[in-house]
Every structure is written in C-alpha cells, then in structure tokens.
C-alpha cells in the first residue's frame, strides 16, 4: 500500500514508465494534502486566545476534515487497484466486463470529486475565522482540493466515455455537472475570502 510507503517511493513510481500509480491516485493524494493543510489551520486556531470564540467550531471542522483526509488516503491505493482491474477487463474484450470495471473506476473518481467539494466547505469558515497567520495555508489547501476535483473530473469523464451502458451514462452526467457548479462556487468563495483577509489584516 502506497499510503504506508515513503513519499519518495510514490513519486518515483508516479514518474516511472508504468501504468500505476496514475492521475487518479495523484488526485487523491492532492486532496489529502489539501485537507491536511486545512487541518493545520484548525490545529493552530484551537487553543489560540485570539480565536477562543471560534475554538469549538474549529474543533468540529478538524474532526470533519480528519475523516475526509482518511478517505482520500484510502483512495490513493484504491485507484491503483481499480485501474489494474480496468486494464485486465479490456484484455477480455467482453463489453459487460469492461463496463463493470469502468463503472468502478468512475465511482472512485466521483468519490474524489465529492470529497474535494466536501473538504473545501470548512475552508470558507477558516478563511473568515481561522488564524490569520495561516490564511495562505487556507488558500493553498483550497487550490490543492480544487486540483484534486478537476483531476477527478478528467478521470470520471473518460470512464463515462468508455461505458456502453447509455442509461448509466445519461444518469451520471447531470451528477458531475452539479458537482462542477457547486465546487466552482465554493472554490471561488474560499479564494476570494482568503485574499480579502490577507489584504485586511
């Protein structure tokens, strides 16, 4: 499992001429790192006398973010497993087998997108109430989560493109569209508030 290996091993394997890990796994890693940055903001805010009125809310956000980071971490390896299954499915040339594998790949990518959106939500509060000394970390966390989201979209869409089940595909495209709109709005608001806070404090 990559999550238990040194980061150098993961990056070296990512750079190598091998199919895994790939973009989906890297997207999950980006999401985990972005979430961790927001956790750091919570940890520095909790216990700071200046932000004591926000302490309870920061603690709630910390617990929420820890859960999201754990799920992202699982997806770093889950994407590797699913991609291997897709590769093996194509070798069978059986469209039902291929569709089944691609759907699993799609759901991993969709999960990355959903977690990226969910992880960005506390960023709105942290950009407004968290320690101003870490306001750039809020912005960086949002940027990494946005990168994870956009990367997840790339992979979700390529999986949908390969699926023959038209009913499934037509049902999932609106899901992705709604996620794109919601996450774009969250990202814009977090970055805007972070920049406003940087300029005003």
Q: Where exactly are the structural domains of the chain?
A: 22-200
Establish whether the linkage from the previous residue to 21 is cis, with ω within 30° of 0: yes
Q: Please state which CATH class domain 22-200 belongs to.
A: mainly alpha
Question: Rounded to whole angstroms, how far apart are CA atoms 28 and 109?
Answer: 9
- Segments in the chain forming alpha helices (H): 7-15, 23-45, 55-92, 95-129, 135-162, 166-200
Residue 201: per-residue pLDDT: 55
- Which of 78, 64, 77, 80 lies closest to 115, judged by CA? 64
Question: Rounded to whole angstroms, how far apart are CA atoms 88 and 95?
Answer: 12
The three-class DSSP label of residue 130 is coil
Cβ neighbours of residue 107 closer than 8 Å, sequence gap 6 or more:
none
pLDDT, tens digit, 9 for 90 and up, residues 113-161: 999 999 999 999 999 999 999 999 999 999 999 999 999 999 999 999 9
Question: Rounded to whole angstroms, how far apart are CA atoms 56 and 143?
Answer: 26
* Mean of pLDDT over the chain: 95
pTM: 0.94
Residue 4: per-residue pLDDT: 86
Give percent above pLDDT 90 in the chain: 94
Q: Which two tokens stand for residue 59?
A: 């603690």
């Amino acid at each position: 499992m990559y999550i238990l290996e040194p980061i150098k091993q993961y990056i070296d394997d990512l750079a190598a001429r091998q199919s895994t890990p790939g973009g989906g796994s890297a997207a999950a890693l980006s999401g985990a790192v972005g979430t961790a940055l927001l956790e750091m903001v919570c940890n520095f805010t909790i216990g700071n006398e200046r932000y004591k009125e926000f302490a309870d809310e920061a603690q709630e956000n910390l617990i929420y973010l820890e859960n999201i980071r754990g799920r992202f971490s699982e997806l770093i390896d889950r994407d590797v497993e699913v991609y291997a299954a897709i590769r093996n499915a194509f070798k069978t040339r059986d469209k039902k087998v291929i569709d089944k594998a691609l759907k699993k790949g799609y759901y991993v990518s969709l999960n990355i997108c959903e977690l990226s959106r969910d992880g960005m939500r506390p960023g709105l509060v942290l950009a407004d109430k968290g320690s101003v000394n870490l306001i750039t970390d809020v912005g960086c966390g949002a940027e990494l989560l946005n990168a994870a989201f956009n990367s997840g979209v790339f992979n979700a869409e390529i999986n949908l493109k390969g699926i023959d089940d038209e009913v499934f595909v037509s049902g999932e495209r609106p899901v992705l569209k709604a996620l794109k709109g919601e996450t774009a709005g969250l990202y814009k608001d977090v970055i805007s508030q972070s920049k406003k806070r940087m300029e005003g404090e």
